[in-house]
Structure 1
Amino acid sequence: MVEEHLGELVSLIFMAFALGMDAFSVSLGMGMQRIRLKRIAYIGIVIGIFHIIMPFIGIVLGKAISGQIGDVTVFIGSLLLFAIGAQMFFSAFNHEAKKFIQPTGIGLILFAFSVSLDSFSVGLSLGMSGVKTFIALLLFGGASMVLTWIGMIAGKKVHGILGVYSEMLGGSILCAFGLLLLFH
């Protein structure tokens, strides 16, 4: 019985890390913008909260909704990531243009939503398996928050090295990640 619970916990830790790696990859690109450390901390917390809310909704709806919804959420999330990345890439060419999506306000909500959509799909499947919901949600939120911080700080360091080109690189990373999700 202890081995069974330990096995479930290890599986949840690996799943949380895998979901958090999405946030890390995307945050690496977003961190290449000029973002203060206080804002990075806030963004990580928001993404962590979304990685708790989205799988919770998925778990609650897991028994009532078919697997088709998971494909739709991945499609929407990938399009949002691509749009954010394209806007970031092209805004690097026009320095006077106001950025369309900033990691504040509705831009932060869109960013966190798009990064956490895959956790909704995971929540759907977990809802059907009867996993320990509270532990899973804490692990998902904590892992994504910490990996977001690591990604954004690493992106901030790269920005210092690459200068203006880092925004194009960051936008390219977001676009590539969106396309990867779309065609994966």
Structure 2
Amino acid sequence: MDVANLQSGHFVTLLMMAFALGMDAFSLGIGIGLKGIRLRDILKLSSVIALFHVWMPLAGIVAGRYMGVLLGHVATMAAGGLLLVLGGHMIYSSMRGDHARSFNHRSVWGMTLFAFGVSVDSFSVGISLGLFAADMMMTILLFGAFGGLMSVLGLLLGRRVSVNLGDYGEACGGVILLAFGILFLV
């Protein structure tokens, strides 16, 4: 019974982290959506974001596992601290109003730049999860699915609503990461 509870708790934690990281893609997607975007471009951009939300945490998990071997017991504290910094930065960015810079989101370079920008946090969280030896397959599938889904939702919603909602979405994601950082340190 304890193993089942541990696995379900692990899944819920990863699900919440995937949602929090997807909020960044959602909030920045709103900004791009407000500029006007075709449905075909939404699908292409969201697919690239989903791929980056798979590759970046995968690279982070591999790096985190290597660091976990080197750091030992300090790894948990380092992972919690990293989540605190990431969550704090997302909240700070939402307060400052940092949005995606103006670029051509239809070009390969523009899609890659945007996807990389919203996926950098996934790399850092991947490092933290690698330090904890999280389930790699479950992590990258959840992060990719939520990254893609949340970007689609943000891009579609951006076509219909004001830009202020994007700030709240990024702040919400930051609060979730901040809370997990605190939990890892306690």
Q: Which residue of 1 aligns with 2:18?
A: 16
Query: Are 2:158 and 1:138 aligned?
Result: no
> What's the CA shift for 1:3?
1.1
Is the alpha carbon distance of 1:143 and 1:8 closer, same or farther for their aligned partners in structure 2, counting shifts above 3 Å?
same
| Structure 2 letter corresponding to 1:156 | R
1:149 to 140, 152, 171: 152
Matches within 5 A, 1:105-184: 105-158=108-161, 169=163
Moved over 3 A (4+): 63-68, 81-84
Q: Which residue of 1 aligns with 2:61?
A: 59
Unpaired segments ≥5 residues, structure 2: 72-77, 179-186
Query: Are 2:36 and 1:34 aligned?
Result: yes
* Alpha-carbon distance in structure 2 between the residues aligned to 1:33 and 1:48: 21
Q: Which residue of 1 aligns with 2:182?
A: none
Q: Which residue of 2 aligns with 1:161?
A: none
> What's the CA shift for 1:106?
0.6
* Alpha-carbon distance in structure 2 between the residues aligned to 1:55 and 1:154: 26
* Alpha-carbon distance in structure 2 between the residues aligned to 1:83 and 1:9: 31
Q: Which residue of 1 aligns with 2:7?
A: 5
Unpaired segments ≥5 residues, structure 1: 89-100, 159-165
* Alpha-carbon distance in structure 2 between the residues aligned to 1:63 and 1:12: 17
| Structure 1 letter corresponding to 2:128 | S
Is the alpha carbon distance of 1:134 and 1:25 closer, same or farther for their aligned partners in structure 2, counting shifts above 3 Å?
same
> What's the CA shift for 1:83?
7.9
Q: Percent of pairs identical after alignment?
A: 38
- For each residue in 1:31-81, what CA deviation from the matched residue of structure 2 results, as whole angstroms up to 9, or x when unmatched? 11221001101111110110000000000111345869x679x98xx7xx9
